[in-house]
Amino acid sequence: MSLRWTIARLRGLPAATDRWVVRFGGSLLTRPGWPDDLLDLVGGLEGAVTVVAGGGPLVDGLRLVDAAQPQSARVMHALAIEAMGITGRLVAEATGLPFIGTAGVGHGAAVLDAPRWCATSPLGSRLPAGWHVTSDSIAATVATEMAATLVLAKRVPPPTPDLADLAAAGWVDQHLPTAAAAVPGILWAVPVDEPT
């Protein structure tokens, strides 16, 4: 499958550094050929690219379990982060990108081990626990730590450029407007299949 990305500015300008954080939405993992999609996206970015893979269907399953028999926010948050570690490892294996626990190491692209980063990063370890904090806010926090531009790769474009409105609409999580406060620039990216 041939693919291109529609990329546009959501807020601010790309950081003066050559550092990028790509939040690769978990729903994109259900697209056939997603490894090539991701490599196509990160291949267009120069410098240090840290990919934060969303939890996708694994975290969706945890949400269903929690809805049926609610658990503590702390427990469910920890399990969702662990699920992100599984999807992150899958993304690293499928793309051949390194799987790293420290954001922004080296030059080139790598996939972040979200559980390890959350446990060791001063910013990551202070994230609130709950369903209002997802890979969106984790990626924004990584971008803050790296002074990097954040790229939100999702299935659909944002309906508005306002972060608070996007959080209210569910396009990003509810904590993202706070988590992204210090991020210099935010872009969005949506895959567009080329006509055959």
pLDDT tens, position by position, 61-104 = 999 999 999 999 999 999 999 999 999 999 999 999 999 888 76
| pLDDT score for 166 | 95
Name, in order, each residue with C-beta under 8 angstroms of 96's C-beta and a sequence gap of 6 or more. none
Structure token pair of residue 83: 């699920």
DSSP lists the bridge partners of residue 186 as 11, 150
Structural domains of the chain in order of their starting residue, each with its CATH number = 3-193 (3.40.1160.10)
**Which one is predicted more confidently, 103 or 106?**
103
Burial of 181 (0-12, 13-18, 19+ CB in 10 A): exposed
| Residue 194 in this model has a pLDDT that exceeds 50 | no
Residue 150 above 90 pLDDT? yes
User: Which uninterrupted H or E stretch holds 150?
Assistant: strand 149-153
Residue 165 to residues 128, 168, 178, 196, Cα–Cα distance (Å): 20, 5, 13, 36
182's tokens: 């210090």
Neighbours of 169 (CB within 10 A): 12
Confidence of residue 195 (pLDDT cuts 50, 70, 90): very low
pLDDT tens across 51-65, in order?
Answer: 999 998 999 899 999
How confident is residue 123, by pLDDT bands cut at 50, 70 and 90? confident
What average pLDDT does the segment 138-152 reach? 94
**Strongest mean pLDDT among 9-13, 82-86, 129-133:** 82-86
Q: How confident is the model at residue 1 (pLDDT cuts 50, 70, 90)?
A: very low
Integer Cα distance of 152 and 157 in angstroms: 10
- C-alpha 61/C-alpha 81 separation (Å) is 13
* Average pLDDT estimate for 43-50: 89
CA distances from 112 to 53, 61, 109, 163 (A): 8, 22, 10, 24
As a dihedral over the C-alpha atoms of residue 7, residue 9, residue 14, residue 19, rounded to 10 degrees, the angle is -40
